Structure 1
């Protein structure tokens, strides 16, 4: 089991400082790299995912899989119910908590930034304790992922490239 944690700040600078602190915490704990991403929002409809990359390879640190998923949490503000359709419904069907999905999707409605990460070996409580010690105090959103939910999220992500390619080949926009 693991946790998805999203830490919301009104300040971009505070979010980037928190991301750096969490990366340092991972190194101190000697755990395997997990994706830590900073998501920025302009308060309207633009969301950007800022992910650490390995300068030698150009690849995201930690593989990029969870960073991409965390970025997707911010894209669909609709109610995450199965009957609604869309990305929020697919994340809900995969096993994510609907309140968590709704809170994350709307957390940057007034702008600001958030730090998101998946936590396994490091421990969610250590992460939360580290960021609560930083100023300004953030809003922390978190949800527990069952092994079944993690598997469903992996499956969902594995389908994305194929769906995008099919849409482009059909003459649609991606």
Structure 2
């Protein structure tokens, strides 16, 4: 089961930096991310979502591949495989992009937008779904980037460890 973690950061680019760091740590198998999204609230207060998984692009690519395959097969039956390939790829890419745009994978967009309204203008937040994490190795990597924990589905102990690491608190509660 995955855990949801939402952390806000000062600056519009900080959440992107943290996500890049988490993706590096994922390559080292220290964390397993299911989904991630950066929410930016610009200086005017407008909310922008930056999905880590581009469903439209993936859908178009997948649709083009399947459309090309089936188009070629239909084209072979009609003795014109190149026209079938081209038509199949075009139709497949269009339907794949449409299905990608209409699907909502992972974290709910409406939840991210409503939570994004609670962060300061000119700041950002990172929403992640985590399957597995090695807290002992990941938290020290994230400490220099700061952040404030907004919401989690972690246990109370794990949430407190995360909060202390990101907000720079030692065990006595005094800022370091």
The alignment's TM-score, normalised by the length of structure 2, stands at 0.49
Higher helix share: 2
